[in-house]
Amino acid sequence: MPDRVPENPERHDDDARLLDGTPGIAGSSEPVKADEVAEADAVSEDKPRQNVMLVWLKEIVTVVAIALVLSFLLKTFLFRAFWIPSESMESTLDVNDRIFINLLVPGPFDLQHGDVVVFKDTQNWLAPVEKKPAGPMDWVGNTLKFVGLMADEGEQHLVKRVIGLPGDHVTCCDAGGRVSVNGVPLDETYINPAEVPTPQQFDVTVPEGKVWVMGDNRNHSADSRLHQETNGGFVNIDDVEGKATVIAWPINRWTVLDNYPDVFKNVPAGNPGK
């Protein structure tokens, strides 16, 4: 039987010569000088190194871009970060805690009694914030604000707990100094245990589209009780940015925030149309 003939005898011969140690170029029988071989080897070594660097840089840029886009989407549709500047919610939230709020509440999901909410200060409960002069590193903070990892100090927000929903009749105080909702006194286990709340009388019915909010640190919270001259002390549900869900920082305070359903389990539904 005849031997199999290679498809390209010349190419196979040249490959064989190179593998045998005889200098040559595929398709040519002329010898190649040693320095030319060395130069070619150097170019071939540099090129892969450059390619690896470019691939690495592209991967880094891609990862950063994807992370920024995902953070922006999360901020826009799911979660947003805020920090706590005051003691009004102690000991649930301490000063300088970082929290994430769920932007789907209110929205697809309704507010519930006991929810801790962040809302815009459209009724000027807070004193105006003095604008800081621009600095060279502002772009860092602006980027973090854009993707939702830092709160915008230029927007005034407050954080309180929802006590009354639309239609609820909220009063204070009974013989034990407790708040009542629709005639049911509340044993509010989330209130700051360090101080007994000072009784402060009020009797309100929450209008449709609004909520009645109070701080867990009752003696140090300028909440619905102290702002009844503006909008009756109620917060517009449209101003609620979201429900606080977790404490994200500092690490030793990582926790999921509770709305204490047992506190409100015996409260009958209010009458929003009333």
Is 160 among the catalytic positions?
yes
Measured CA to CA, the distance from residue 243 to residue 236 in angstroms comes to: 14
Residue among 29, 44, 47, 88 flagged as catalytic: 88
Structure tokens at 50: 């450059």
**C-beta separation of 121 from 158 below 8 A:** yes
Annotate 4-63 with DSSP letters as a single string: PPPS-HHHHHHHHHHHTT---BTTB-S---HHHHHHHHHHHHHHHHHHHHHHHHHHHHHH
Question: ∠ CA 47-52-56 to the nearest 5 degrees?
Answer: 150
Closest CA to 115 of 255, 17, 258, 11: 258
The closest alpha carbon to 93, from 237, 196, 215, belongs to 215
Contact of 104 with 76, CB cutoff 8 Å: no
What whole-number distance in Å separates Cα of residue 73 and Cα of residue 51?
Answer: 33
Residues 72-76: contacts with CB under 8 Å, at least 24 apart: 72/146, 72/147, 72/148, 74/148, 75/146, 75/147, 75/148, 75/149, 76/103, 76/148
User: Which one is catalytic: 71, 145, 160, 224?
Assistant: 160
Residue with tokens 């404490």: 247
Residues with catalytic roles: 88, 160
